[in-house]
Structures are given as C-alpha cells and as structure tokens.
Amino acid sequence: MTDENAPFPRVLILCIAVTGGVMAAVTAQLAYARLGLDLGAAWRDMMGARTGQMRSAFAWWAIALTAFAAGLVIAWIVRLMASAQSSLAAVRWIGGAVLVVALALVGHEAGAPTGLAPGAGVALGLISLTVAGLLSLLGAYFATRR
C-alpha cells in the first residue's frame, strides 16, 4: 500500500524534469533550425564566412539555456503539483493532452533534411541531446535543492 499523502521522491522529480528539458531542447533545436540557426552551420561553413559559425554558436547556447530553464521550471511545477495531488487531477490530464498534441506537431517538423552527412547529423543529435540532458538535470537539481 502506498501513502497518498507522501511527497514525490526527488529522483522521480529529477527524471520528469530531465525528460521535459530534453523535449524542450529538441523543440528549440527544430524551431531555431527553421529560423536558420542550425547546429551544423559550423561544419558546413568551416572555411567560409564566420557568420555561419556565429549562428551555430548562438544556436548551441540558446538550446543549452532552453534545456536548463525547462528543467528548472518543470521540476518546480512538478514539486508544486505533488503537494496538491487530488485537487489538480483534471489539470494534469489536460496538460498531458496538450503536451501530446504539441509533441506531435513538433515531430512533424523533424523530418526535414538538414543538409549534413548522415553520420554528422547523428553525432550532432547525440551530442545536443547529451548536453540538453545534463543541463536540464542541473536546472532540476537547483529547483529541488533542500
């Protein structure tokens, strides 16, 4: 039997925040790529103009900041919602449905070609997901400190 009045474990809050932070970073990466700020511009313009490298650096920093802020905010919200478990059940269901619809819309945009070699695209994706996961964990840690 579980106690319904027990607070969420800290590890569960951290896992939720890291997952949400990585999703927010992927969403930001797709949105910035649509604006012309993609992560692979530094590799494509290695010998070319410096503007591509600056745009790529800005995209990296913006995605890192997005992951950190999302991890912090999501951990804070989960911590607040855990204290009022029974009164916010409908809000959680509506929020979950909105999240699924938003991720479906973002996933539809993810199929666009990047212009990089497949290996470079995979490496870039894995590196950005790792950075996003670590920074969202750091943001969640600051939100759940006691």
**Residue that wins the pLDDT comparison between 33 and 2:** 33
| Statement: residue 56 has pLDDT above 90 | no
Contacting residues for 140 by C-beta, under 8 A, at least 6 apart: 13, 14, 17, 18, 21, 71, 72, 74, 75
Residue 113 confidence (pLDDT)? 62
CA-CA-CA-CA dihedral for 119, 121, 124, 129, to nearest 10? -110
| Statement: residue 12 has pLDDT above 60 | yes
Mean pLDDT value across residues 15-28: 89
Mean pLDDT value across residues 20-25: 89
Nearest-5° angle of CA 99, CA 105, CA 108? 135
| Statement: residue 144 has pLDDT above 80 | yes
Exposure pattern of 86-123 as b/e (b: 16+ CB <10 Å)?
eeeeeeeeeeeeeeeeeeeebeeeeeeeeebeeeebee
The burial class, CB within 10 Å (0-12 / 13-18 / 19+), for 21 is buried
Contacting residues for 85 by C-beta, under 8 A, at least 6 apart: 4
62 contacts 128 by C-beta, under 8 angstroms: no
The H or E element containing residue 48 is: none
Amino acid symbol at 7: P
Is this structure's pTM higher than 0.85? no
The residue ranges of every structural domain in the chain are 10-139
Identify the band that residue 50 occupies on the pLDDT scale cut at 50, 70 and 90. Answer: low
Identify the band that residue 8 occupies on the pLDDT scale cut at 50, 70 and 90. Answer: confident
| Statement: residue 2 has pLDDT above 60 | no
For residues 111 and 130, what is the distance between their CA atoms, to the nearest angstrom?
A: 21
Residue 68 confidence (pLDDT)? 94
Using one digit for the tens of pLDDT, what is the confidence trace for 40-49? 766 655 555 6
